[in-house]
Structure 1
């Protein structure tokens, strides 16, 4: 290869590294989470701090390997409801807005999940 070709390859490689180095990791969106879970009736958090603490607690459970079915059951018990959607909605909002890096793990856990009858 000639010098010009090698220079172009090196420059292209450096540009790719620069793009990867400046890519922003997925970040929590506390405001988005709060709007989505406090505007929807049924959760009745006493304040924003309690709502965020609960959501981050869901994230901790996802990251520790708690199964999707157990997460739903925990939320249903915590909010004294049998509403499957209420449980799955809060899990979804927690993962999407507060711990997006855990979405893949949550999806793996939810694969094959069948709501209880």
Structure 2
């Protein structure tokens, strides 16, 4: 059985290797315009006139997330913009915008969505 000192040394080495592996393999978050466009233009309900309008809208959602607009307010804005009461449609567009266009804002969006309850 290894001594306490040896076990500590092994644990420390493994932790350092694990951290180094995470740091060297982690990729920075980046926008995926094509992924966003495919996901929001193929799905019915949004009726963007063209790709530029779809991207502009998604980037606007990102701007709102980054400026601190709450998840609930984002849902209300999208429902109003697309004249719908479809909670999923609004949620999907927010999700696609964040995941594909501004992934660095996902944590902020999640914090904002905590405790959100859809309207009846």
TM-score, normalised to structure 1's length? Answer: 0.82
Match of 2:28, SS? coil
2:4 corresponding residue in structure 1: none
Q: Alignment partner for residue 70 of structure 2, among 47, 51, 67?
A: 67
Distance 2:26 2:91 in 1: 30
Deviation at 1:24, TM superposition (A): 2.9
- Residues 21/70 of structure 1: CA separation in 2 closer, same or farther (3 Å cut): same
2:95 corresponding residue in structure 1: 92
Q: Alignment partner for residue 41 of structure 2, among 24, 35, 38?
A: 38
Distance 1:85 1:23 in 2: 31
Distance 1:110 1:59 in 2: 14
Distance 2:81 2:115 in 1: 24
Distance 2:43 2:79 in 1: 15
Instruction: Provide the aligned C-alpha RMSD in A.
Output: 2.0
1:58 corresponding residue in structure 2: 61
1:5 corresponding residue in structure 2: none
Distance 2:57 2:63 in 1: 10
Is residue 107 of structure 1 aligned with residue 75 of structure 2?
Answer: no
TM-score, normalised to structure 2's length? Answer: 0.80
